[in-house]
Chains A and B, each alone.
Chain A
Amino acid sequence: MADAELKQQIKEMIVERLFLDVDPAVIADDENLMESYEIDSVNLFEIVVGMEEQFGISFEDDDFTVDLFATVNSLAEFVDQKRG
């Protein structure tokens, strides 16, 4: 299970990179990001770049699934897996 600090870092990264006008703390861990914040392909690309830069991970071609980008929980679990 990914820890709360990692999830908070992911929320802050999303808010920063997408220029969202929301407090990162109001994003729920299991909230559907694509629906709540109208995240499109441009936004998803920003999230991918942000995660690689901030968490030192690399996305592989097979990693690109909608489920991965669904929630903060799924993103945090992905970072945990990549970090081993």
Chain B
Amino acid sequence: MLALDERLVTIDSGGESLHGVLHLPAEATGRALVFCHPFAEEKKCAHRTMVDAARACAEAGWAALRFDLRGCGDSPGSFGRFDLDDWRADLQAALDCAAGKAQAEAVGLLGLRLGATLAAQVAEEREDVACLALWEPVVDGAAYITHNLRRSMIKAMITRHEGGEESEGAAAQAHALGEGTVDFDGYQVPEALREQIAAVDLLAGPRTYAGRALIVNLTSRETVAEPLQKLADAYARGTAVAVRQEPVWQRIGIIDASPTITATIDWLTRAHD
């Protein structure tokens, strides 16, 4: 049985101590990845996948730092008090932390959904990001907001149909497009944050990150979805792959994410050996 070297770490960012777990390889290789989790309910659904991915990375020789952004998971603060600027600062702090605690000379980023979007943005704010692995990044923030509101609508519809109790105002909130705080599956998202996310457009101009970038499309199809292929093409050294995989961020439960994890480890190995 593989002995896992996993250590709790705290990351100082914005006056808060963020909760993190550092997965270390059996032998130090000078390589590390910082994971950036998705948003709200998607984070909860993808938790198991992110743990599995971190352990697989450590086994492949990459230290992996998972951590919770401010107001999320086990990190302090209330969800909804923070915004994308705060979370990008957290990611910056996590990169510095990983470099120090894992004694890594090369630190890359791996993100899922909105976490991948943050990773893509942070990679362009600094010179030392070794590589960038983006799993289903949110390319179009406005569409992402619309999809989340639709999910709420569909859930409210199902709840009404089944005769169960609907959370107060769930349907009305879901329909309150563009007005005030809305409910994303139990997470209160204030208007300012929603507008900030809606303004995200990763295809607006070329990406300036010059390192290797992998864009992973988790899909039932054999070809990469057009927006993700365009994103890969916008990077100087971007690659996009389609991986047959259910959306690991949509459903709580055990999902075998090994196709996505394996594709990513293979890419990391090819890119750095």
Residues of A within 8 A of B (CB): 16-17, 19, 40-42, 44-45, 48-49, 59, 61, 64-66
Contact = CB atoms under 8 A, between A and B. Distances in A.
Contacts of B150: 45, 48, 59, 64
A40 B161 CA distance: 12
B151 interface: yes
Interface in B161-184: 161, 175, 177
B154 A41 contact: yes
Nearest to A50: B220
Binding site secondary structure of chain B:
helix
Given A42-B250, A42-B251, A49-B147, A19 B153 contact: no
Interface of B: 147, 150-151, 153-155, 157-158, 161, 175, 177, 220-221, 246, 250-251
A40 B157 contact: no
A45 B251 CA distance: 12
Given A64-B157, A66-B157, A41 B221 contact: no
10 contacts: A16-B221, A19-B246, A41-B157, A41-B158, A44-B158, A45-B147, A45-B150, A45-B154, A49-B147, A61-B177
Contacts of B221: 16
The 9 closest A-B pairs by CB, nearest first: A66-B161, A41-B155, A16-B220, A41-B154, A44-B154, A41-B158, A42-B250, A64-B153, A64-B157
Given A16-B220, A17-B220, 15 more contacts: A19-B220, A41-B154, A41-B157, A44-B158, A45-B147, A45-B150, A45-B154, A45-B250, A48-B154, A59-B150, A61-B153, A61-B175, A64-B150, A64-B154, A65-B157
Contacts of B161: 66
A49 B157 CA distance: 17
Nearest to B251: A42
Contacts of A49: 147
Nearest to B153: A64
Contacts of A65: 157
Which of B154, B158, B250, B251 is most buried by chain A, counting CB atoms within 10 A of its CB?
B154
Among A17, A40, A64, A66, which residue has the most Cβ atoms of chain B within 10 A?
Answer: A64
